[in-house]
Amino acid sequence: MKKHPLLTSHKASILDLNTAKSLFAEITESGIPYDYQQANCHNISHYISSLLESKGYQCAKIWAFAPAVYSTSNSKLISFIDEKNISPTGTIDWRYHVAPVIEVQIGNKVRKMVIDLGLFPNEFVRYRTWLAKLKTKKLIYLIMDSEWYLYNSSMITNAQLEFDSNEEINANQPNIKLPEWFADKLITDFFKYEEESLEQHWVEKGLAVNETAIEFYDTEIKPILYSEQHQDLVKDYKMLVGDVFNFETIFRDNNWNYEMNNDFQIKHQEIISKYRTIYSLNLDKWKKALASLNEIILQKNIK
C-alpha cells in the first residue's frame, strides 16, 4: 500500500539528522496537547505539518487503519491500556491513527521517520516501529501527502461500487480504492483542509478539546482518582472526559446526548461552565497560533 494517487514522489523535504532533531525539539516545545490520546490525531498531525511548512519544510503523513474501518466482517480496533486511567472502559480505542512523516538522511539512506508525541514523546521513529507500536493484526497503512486532512467513510462496499459502475452512485469516485481481496468497505474518500473544515476551524477545535480535556484531568480527576470517598464523582468525570464524544458534545458543541443529558449537566453545571470558559480561551489561542503559521506560509509562497 505504498503507491497510490495521493502520494507525490519526492514532495516531502529530505532533512539531515541535525535539522530533523532541531525541528522535533521545536514541535515538542510548541505546546501541542498530545497527552490526551482519546482523539484528534488528525488535527495534531495537520498542525505539525503547518508548523513544519512555516519553517520551509514539507512532510508526509502515515495513516493506519484498523480492520473495523475497511472490513464488514472484522470489528477489531487499535486498542491499548489507558495509562492515565481516564477512560470509562480502561482502554484507548481508535479506528485509525495518523502522524506526520519526515524524510531523514541517515548515513547513505533516506529513512521515513514518524513524529508521534503521544506514542513516542522523546524521539521520531522509523515508520515500521510506529506501526509495530499499534499492535494490531491486519493493520493497513497509507503514506500520503500532508495536505490530505481526513477521509469520509461510506456504507457503500467495493462490490456495490463495481456493480453500480454506470449509475449515479458512481458520480463522485473515491480518490483511493483499497484492494478488494482484503477490503470490502469504501473508506478512502480523502479531502483537504478547506471549505467546511477550514471555515469551522476543525484543527483549532480539536487542539482546544485536547488541551481542555487534559487540564480537566490534571486539575479535577487526577487528585481524586484513587480516593474512595470520591469514586462516584470520578465515575461521572471519566464518563465526561474519558469519552471524547461526550467531551466534544459538552464543550465543543454545547449540546447533549443520552449520557450527557439534562440531569447530568445540571448536576455538574458549575464545573461544566468553568471548563467551557477554558475551552473558549484555548480555542482562541489555537486560532491565533494557526493563523500565525498560515501567514508565515503565505509570505514564503509569495517570495
Helix H or strand E encompassing 39 = none
Each residue of 232-275: pLDDT tens digit?
999 999 999 999 999 999 999 999 999 999 999 999 999 999 99
Instruction: Report the pLDDT averaged over residues 82-105.
Output: 96
pLDDT on residue 73: 84
Query: Measuring CA to CA, which residue among 35, 58, 30 is closest to residue 290?
Result: 30
- Look at residue 169 and tell me whether its pLDDT is greater than 80: no
pLDDT on residue 302: 86
Each residue of 124-147: pLDDT tens digit?
999 999 999 999 999 989 999 999
pLDDT band at 20; cut points 50, 70, 90: very high
Exposed, middle or buried, 144 (CB in 10 Å: 0-12/13-18/19+)?
Answer: buried
Angle at 40 between CA 295 and CA 234, to 5 degrees: 130
Which CATH class for the 14-151 domain? alpha beta
User: In this predicted model, which residue has the larger pLDDT, 1 or 216?
Assistant: 216
Name the residue with cell 481481496.
181
- Look at residue 160 and tell me whether its pLDDT is greater than 60: no
pLDDT on residue 185: 67
Q: What is the pTM of this model?
A: 0.93
Phi-psi region at 190: left, alpha or beta (left = phi > 0; alpha = psi -120 to 50): beta
Contact in structure between 187 and 151 (CB atoms under 8 Å): yes
Instruction: Report the pLDDT averaged over residues 82-110.
Output: 96
Instruction: Report the pLDDT averaged over residues 81-85.
Output: 95
Instruction: Report the pLDDT averaged over residues 274-279.
Output: 98
User: Taking the CB of residue 204, how many other CB atoms lie within 10 A of it?
Assistant: 21
User: In this predicted model, which residue has the larger pLDDT, 220 or 67?
Assistant: 220
C-alpha to C-alpha distances, 176 to 108, 150, 182, 188, 191, nearest whole angstrom: 33, 13, 14, 5, 11
| Mean of the per-residue pLDDT values of the chain | 91
pLDDT band at 1; cut points 50, 70, 90: very low
Which part of the chain has CATH 3.10.620.30?
14-151
- Look at residue 174 and tell me whether its pLDDT is greater than 50: yes
Please report, rounded to a whole number, the percentage of residues in the chain having pLDDT higher than 70: 89
